[in-house]
A and B are shown apart, each in its own frame.
Chain A
Amino acid sequence: MTTITERSGAIPARATALDVDRIRADFPILGIRPRGHPLVYLDSAATSQKPRQVIDALRRYYEEENGNIHRGVHYLSELATTRYDETREAVRRFINAASVNEVVFTRNTTEGINLVASSYGQAFVRPGDEIVVSLMEHHSNIVPWQLLAQRSGAAVRAVPVTDIGELDLDAFESMLGPKTRIVALSWVSNSLGTVNPVKRIVEMAHARGIPVLLDGAQAAPHLPIDVQSVGCDFLAFSGHKMLGPTGVGVLYARGDWFDRLPPYQGGGDMIETVTIEKTTYAKAPSKFEAGTPDIGSVAAFRAAIDYLERTGLDAIHRHELALLEEATARVASLPGIRLIGTAPGKAGVLSFTMEGVHPHDIATILDQQGVAIRAGHHCTQPLMARFGCGATARASFYLYNTLDDVAALVAGLEKVREVFA
């Protein structure tokens, strides 16, 4: 299987095979009327909406299946354990991991990155070492590494970003050296939408024996993922951005990485035997799942994965590109617009500024018309500084969005111009 990363840009951004009307009927929230207008939800990069199938699975879990996992022999404990393990297998298949033992459940992407920064850092990072991130990272892929650097005496270095919003790969290559202990980069930028050439990045790092963590928060919801093809050592992503409930995320670690890392948190479920003197640990994935997890959300996450697989990630991505193309052309033609992030290979994220109008004011005026976008620094302040703006307005698209939503965005922006004339 080829990943979309290597093909993006080659896919024609035409109207797609998605039956969006049928998809929209699955999302109850799309029927609400915020401030008297139909909801136009263009903030899926922050969190996606949930289909009825996921909501039903969550309710079914608490009404019929709730018990604690890996404990007890009663019916409910067994059923809850089954549901939990079924989702792990669904995740394995979704990202094409070689084994379910490479899949650990976390709360979210942030926790997955913190786990690696903590455990990998403790085992492998020493004073004088270097950690390579980039200027386009979300704060959650910067701050955990800064904390590690402070603890360990290592340094964080950042790959620069070009004017169109791509990683400067020549600079990246020149930063890789004998001191580099790990590379941590986003697969898809949450602020720019840029799809990074992750396979090539992994090859460049692996050629020097350096492991790679990918922040997949914006990739897993939108692109077909094949971790064996990409070859990354770690991949972190969140359930709530891909139709799942909040409270569940995934950390993938290739091969025996989880065996080589010390535990992140201690507690129940992650042990083999405990005496007051000494504890031996369970094997992965249990070793990294201390305490009772969010079992209900994990169980319902399965319904989200099923929904995405049934719809097809290729079809979803093509649909988003069609919306992005239309939105980019129409928004760019408005007066005073500056697009931030114009790389040829993008996911469905449109970031922009409007001359003389702060993004917050844009978002407030759009909100009064039922149009939900994000305004601010998107937890990417170094990137905002790179582009010389404190904030942008960001519209992000998903499988349930339509060309009508794009039209509502454009009409809303025309209203912004009126108010700020």
Chain B
Amino acid sequence: MDLGALYEEVILDHNRSPRNWGEIPGAKHVDGTNPLCGDRISLSVQVDGDVITDIRFTGEGCAISKASASMMTQAIKGKTRQEAEALFERFHDLVTGRSKETPPDKTLGSLRAFAGVARFPTRVKCATMAWHAMREATGNRP
């Protein structure tokens, strides 16, 4: 199997230099963890009305979880909660292989780099950990 399919250059880049790294004082905090491996992410999210105006993260984890968190924050910032949820669903389909039969989802933009995760079932959790934390922080997941 081609490792490049998993470790796309953009993923390695976000792993090396994560974007939106840090905390937002006074914002809502949610921790995501993967109890299997002990990876954790700390997300702070600022929501004004329905719009996610700012989102940052810290934590430790593998390249997939770190890059996924970094690229998620970029993709989500400025979106409404509903848009964020819709994006999550498309991303989830991508990394679980559910969207395999359909043409590449252009609306995902650079997030399509995570398509290779679908061939590594043990790594799906790494790719979705930050997204689940985001959904909790924005009230999209009870």
Contact = CB atoms under 8 A, between A and B. Distances in A.
Given A365-B3, A419-B7, A358 B38 contact: no
Residue among A360, A377, A420 with the highest chain B CB neighbour number at 10 A: A360
A360 B126 contact: yes
Residue among B37, B61, B120, B123 with the highest chain A CB neighbour number at 10 A: B37
Contact of B62 (A360, A368, A377, A381): A360
A377 B63 contact: no
Given A357-B63, A420-B12, A375 B37 contact: yes
A384 B60 CA distance: 13
B6 interface: yes
Interface in A356-378: 356-361, 364-365, 368, 375-377
A420 B36 CA distance: 24
B62 A384 contact: no
A384 B38 CA distance: 10
A420 B11 CA distance: 11
B37 A361 contact: no
B38 A364 contact: no
Contact of A360 (B1, B3, B16, B37): B37
Interface in A332-391: 356-361, 364-365, 368, 375-377, 381, 384, 390-391
B92 interface: no
A381 to B, nearest CB: 6
A355 to B, nearest CB: 12
Residue among A357, A358, A365, A419 with the highest chain B CB neighbour number at 10 A: A358
B64 interface: yes
B12 A358 contact: no
A361 B1 contact: no
Interface in B36-73: 36-40, 60-64, 66
B12 A391 contact: no
B63 A390 contact: no
A360 B36 CA distance: 11
A390 B38 contact: yes
Contact of B64 (A35, A361, A368): A361
B37 A376 contact: yes
Contacts of A415: 3
Contacts of B64: 360-361
A377 B37 contact: yes
Interface in B11-42: 12, 16, 36-40
A376 B12 contact: no
A389 to B, nearest CB: 9
Contacts of A360: 37, 39, 61-62, 64, 123, 126
Contacts of A359: 62
Contacts of B62: 358-361
Contacts of A377: 37-38
A385 B126 CA distance: 21
A358 B36 contact: no
Contacts of A365: 3
B122 to A, nearest CB: 8
A364 B61 CA distance: 14
Interface in A142-173: none
B37 A368 contact: no
A375 B66 CA distance: 16
A419 B126 CA distance: 18
Given A358-B63, A364-B123, A390-B60, A419 B37 contact: no
A364 B120 contact: yes
A359 B38 CA distance: 11
A376 B40 contact: no
Given A360-B62, A360-B126, A390 B1 contact: no
Nearest to B126: A360
Contact of A381 (B1, B16, B38): B38
A368 B38 contact: no
A357 B37 CA distance: 15
A320 B38 CA distance: 29
B66 to A, nearest CB: 8
A420 B6 CA distance: 12
A390 B37 CA distance: 8
B132 to A, nearest CB: 17
Interface string A34-46: 0100000000000
B61 A358 contact: yes
Nearest to B2: A368
A390 B122 CA distance: 18
B39 A391 contact: yes
A364 B39 contact: no
13 contacts: A35-B1, A360-B64, A360-B123, A364-B120, A368-B1, A376-B37, A390-B60, A390-B61, A391-B39, A419-B3, A419-B7, A420-B7, A420-B12
Given A358-B39, A358-B62, A390-B38, 6 more contacts: A360-B39, A361-B63, A368-B3, A390-B39, A390-B60, A420-B7
Interface of A: 35, 356-361, 364-365, 368, 375-377, 381, 384, 390-391, 415, 419-420
- Give me the 6 closest cross-chain CB pairs, A-B, nearest first: A358-B62, A360-B62, A377-B38, A376-B37, A361-B63, A390-B60
